[in-house]
Amino acid sequence: MMNTKLSLSQTKIIGFTIRLNDTRTRYGRSTISATLSSKPAYSGELKVVKETSGTEPLKKKNVSNEDNFLSKIAINYLSKTLQDTAGMSSSSSKSTGYDSLVDTATRVAGNLDIKQQHELVLVALDRAFPAVILSLIKMLLPPSKLSREMFALFTTVFFAWLVGPSEVRETEVNGKKEKSMVFIKKCRFLEQTNCVGMCTHLCKIPSQIFIKNSLGMPIYMMPDFDDLSCKMMFGQEPPEIKDDPVMKQPCFQFCKNENVSANKITS
């Protein structure tokens, strides 16, 4: 007789998928529709390489108390938006501040496959930022040297609470030098999650898609998993997901998020 009883993890994934589809129906705008209807970038044979890296385990430090009032508001808002999108109860997490954001991201990564993670973050970002403002920015700042440099400067000023201290650096776009690259000295999200998979699938890839579709600005994010820094290059098209070097990046040797690293991209 066939065993039709679902495991706990299967039940969680089905529940998350139902809520994700419902949320996408209620909140899906052109950003999400364009992404989900575009040419698939996923392959059933593609998966994250498991633990082979020699990276030492990172000592997590609680720096939430160092966040100022406005930073705490932004952190709580993003965490709550992600929880609502995933259908999570905020009361189920005892963490606060940035720890709550990390805890929420960890739970999402542990219950959804990689493609679902991308889609859920896209829906959450779509809900977090008013469509009118995004459309206005896209209209007033079409891709140009000025807009790329403004996006870079804006990122360093307003998103330190999310990624940590960063600075604008000079780079080359279309053979000409301009200050449109953001260099994050040590990414706060990567440092706190200590997970290659979460960095890649809950931050890098969905952020690249969202910024391109919502603001009309191509961006390529290049995390360095040796020193935890990251380069955000505005105006540069990222490679296809399956061709991105980050997809071959092994997990940290001491990564405890085994259920995250074992996720497989499905078509």
d(CA 264, CA 267): 10
**How, if at all, do strands 219-223 and 230-234 pair?**
antiparallel
Strand (E) or helix (H) holding 110: helix 97-111
> Which residue, 134, 131, 184, is CA-closest to 162?
184
Query: What is the pLDDT at residue 34?
Result: 37
d(CA 231, CA 168): 10
> Which residue, 170, 176, 175, is CA-closest to 149?
170
Side chain identity at residue 13, one-letter code: I
Contact 112, 120 (CB under 8 A): yes
d(CA 120, CA 3): 30
Query: What is the pLDDT at residue 175?
Result: 87
The pLDDT tens digits of the residues spanning 141-191 come to: 999 999 999 999 999 999 999 999 999 999 998 889 999 999 999 999 999
**Those residues with Cβ within 8 angstroms of residue 16's Cβ, 6 or more apart along the chain or in another chain:** 86, 87, 108, 111, 112, 116, 120
Q: Minimum mean pLDDT among 45-59, 102-116, 125-139, 231-245: which range?
A: 45-59
The pLDDT tens digits of the residues spanning 4-36 come to: 444 444 444 445 555 555 544 444 443 443 333
Reduced to 3 states (helix: H, G, I; strand: E, B; else coil), residue 102 is helix
d(CA 246, CA 44): 17
Instruction: Give the percent of the chain with pLDDT over 90.
Output: 62
d(CA 104, CA 127): 17
- For 230: left if phi > 0, alpha if psi spans -120 to 50, otherwise beta; the answer is beta
CB atoms within 10 A of CB 40: 12
Q: Which residue has the tokens 């909140």?
A: 27
Take residue 197 and report the two structure tokens written for it: 């998979």
Contact 189, 201 (CB under 8 A): no
Query: What is the pLDDT at residue 102?
Result: 94
Q: Can you give the C-alpha Rg of the chain in angstroms?
A: 18
What are the residues facing 219 on neighbouring strands? 234
